[in-house]
Amino acid sequence: MVLKVFFPQCCNAADSGLLIGRWLPGHNSAVVLAVIHFPFIPGQVKQYLNQLQSLTQMDLTVLGSWCKPSEDQESVQSFLKDLSTIFPHGRWLHLSSEIGKKRFSCQVNSRGSKVIESDDKEDKGDQVICIHYDQCKVMLSQLHPAQGGILNPQTELSELRLVFQTVSQSQALFYIDKYDEGPFKLTHWQSEGREGSIIVELSKQASVPVCLVLTWLLSVWYWVCKSRILNLWPMRFVSSKLSSCIQLSHRTEHLQVISVPRKAEDHTEFMRKANIFVSFLVDVALGLLLISWLYRENRIGRLANTLVPVADRIAEELQELLKWLMGAPAGLKMNRALDQVLGRFFLYHIHLWISYIHLLSPFIGMILWYVGLSACLGLTFALSVLSDIVALLTFHIYCFYVYGARLYCLKVYGLSSLWRLFRGKKWNVLRQRVDSCSYDLDQLFIGTLLFTILLFLLPTTALYYLVFTLLRLLVVLFQGLLHLCVDFINSFPLFAMGLRICRSYRLAAGVKFRVLEQEPERPLHLLMEINPLTYSAVLQWYRTLTYSCYPKDSWGALCKKLFIGELIYPWKHKNIKTD
């Protein structure tokens, strides 16, 4: 039977004393956490262990003894072996290092049975494996389930996970500073003094009042948002369609998460808060950099001066495009009457749009100046405002697309209904299926006339629909890129990725073992090293959930909507098929 002893590397140079640790339940393994130096009083050791058990909620005990080479090694070794009667347990480990040897030997005393040594040749089934581990890294690391699974607390933990859990829950054992006057001295990873930072401690002290102030400000903001004026139908409708309002509500939810003054309950909640906090700080920092760039060298004024000429240039190009469509585009023969009606209709809309732009031209500089200040709320909010500005400036293109799509869709559905009329079919709205139907001669005659008219008018309508759909797709593509940038900043786990780069052991995917010493008559010594998570696994585990800015339709459904004339970026999705 193999006995595995997990021994911390920081205890290799410890003075002689007792091994404090835990026997893993259900496994033939022991985890050594610290060494209590000689001399000590056994009664105080028992009292200290009882205090640790109440704090850590684990059955910490004396695993055995540790002996370091010295002048009176034999007397100390015999004294430490006799302590097995004072601290009774099923097995007693006796680890002793030898002069001139890098590693130590192991001896296991079992109550009521013989002594098992590492070089015992009589019982070859018993073997001792000493696994050395870095106590600091194991305590600070989080072991993740394999293949992206979810750890169920009710299931039985594996041996490796029990080792990580034992070390991480034994923080009370490591909080003894070297300047504390205790009844005895211990050796562990913080025996040379507790690691700490003045900045970190001051941040912890200041976090509570900052969270309280932030919570109060958020409560005021929620009260303003819940007021009756903002809950009226026009305000509620407009706020639900503007990307800036959606991003503002999203950031408000993030601030509400990180402003909770209570401590995170588990590692997942801590990482979520840390990722949101770092993402918010980086977002605001990028927004301030954008403000400093915009308001330097009067870039806002130059942008306002070029906006109206660019709008005029776009309008001229659209007018030239409409005049080209009103003639013989690409040599195609269009329906003259319908072509002239549609062309003049869209030209009148462009004229209205240009008049509206020139009416606002004196105020564009002031509007852009105040809009640029919104970047102090973060780069994501500035990008959302830019998306809304693009939507407002291209509203005439959206109107052209809606007009062309509705007209084209009406003709497509009309032709499909009349085609079913020729085949003696009709669409049953109640049963949502196509049923047989008998038509008289007058109905067939009228249906033939309407089918012929719609069929010959379809190419003209389809050409206008195709042109304005391409223009709309360009606008949607640009807005989609802005939304992808916003979603990337909101969801990218910056804190977790920083841990993966700087302290990769904090995010553990597993462990690997390296042979340190392997001799015939000595125990096998292994070094346990932590395998960090891959970067893709870090993104999978710690990516922050955001509002969906992606189209809910697949590529097939999107192509189908383009073919039949349904809106590709509608505010409302159709769920019921109509005829």
* Whole-number pLDDT of residue 122: 42
pLDDT of 574 > 50? The answer is no
434 C-beta neighbours (distance < 10 Å), count: 13
pLDDT of 356 > 80? The answer is yes
Q: Are 384 and 244 in contact (CB under 8 A)?
A: yes
- What is the arithmetic mean of pLDDT over 440-446? 84
Rg of the chain over all Cα atoms, to the nearest angstrom: 37
pLDDT of 273 > 80? The answer is yes
pLDDT band at 193 (very low <50, low <70, confident <90, very high): low
- What is the arithmetic mean of pLDDT over 137-166? 74
Q: What is the pLDDT of residues 513-523, one digit of tens each?
A: 999 887 777 78
- What is the arithmetic mean of pLDDT over 167-193? 70
- What is the arithmetic mean of pLDDT over 207-234? 69
**Lowest-pLDDT range, 73-82, 405-414, 428-437?**
73-82
- What is the arithmetic mean of pLDDT over 133-158? 72
pLDDT of 197 > 60? The answer is no
pLDDT of 333 > 90? The answer is no
- What is the arithmetic mean of pLDDT over 279-298? 89
229 C-beta neighbours (distance < 10 Å), count: 7
* Whole-number pLDDT of residue 520: 75
Q: What is the pLDDT of residues 114-139, one digit of tens each?
A: 455 554 444 444 688 899 998 888 88
The whole-chain average pLDDT of the chain stands at: 80
Percentage with pLDDT > 90 across the chain = 9
- Which of 465, 452, 493 lies closest to 567 in space, CA to CA? 465
- What is the arithmetic mean of pLDDT over 396-405? 89
* Whole-number pLDDT of residue 221: 67
CA distances from 558 to 166, 410, 473, 562, 564 (A): 53, 18, 12, 6, 10
* Whole-number pLDDT of residue 222: 67
Q: Is 387 or 555 the better-scoring residue by pLDDT?
A: 387
pTM for this entry: 0.77
**Lowest-pLDDT range, 117-126, 394-403, 419-428, 564-573?**
117-126
The CA distance from 170 to 55, in Å, is: 9
* Whole-number pLDDT of residue 81: 66
* Whole-number pLDDT of residue 26: 83
pLDDT of 282 > 90? The answer is yes
Q: What is the pLDDT of residues 224-265, one digit of tens each?
A: 666 666 566 666 777 777 888 888 888 888 888 877 777 778
The CA distance from 565 to 212, in Å, is: 53
Query: Which structure tokens are listed for 136?
Result: 């600091």
Q: Is 297 helix (H, G, I), strand (E, B) or coil?
A: coil
* Whole-number pLDDT of residue 576: 38
Which string of b and e fits 34-55 if b means at least 16 CB within 10 Å? bbbbbebeeeebeebbeebeee
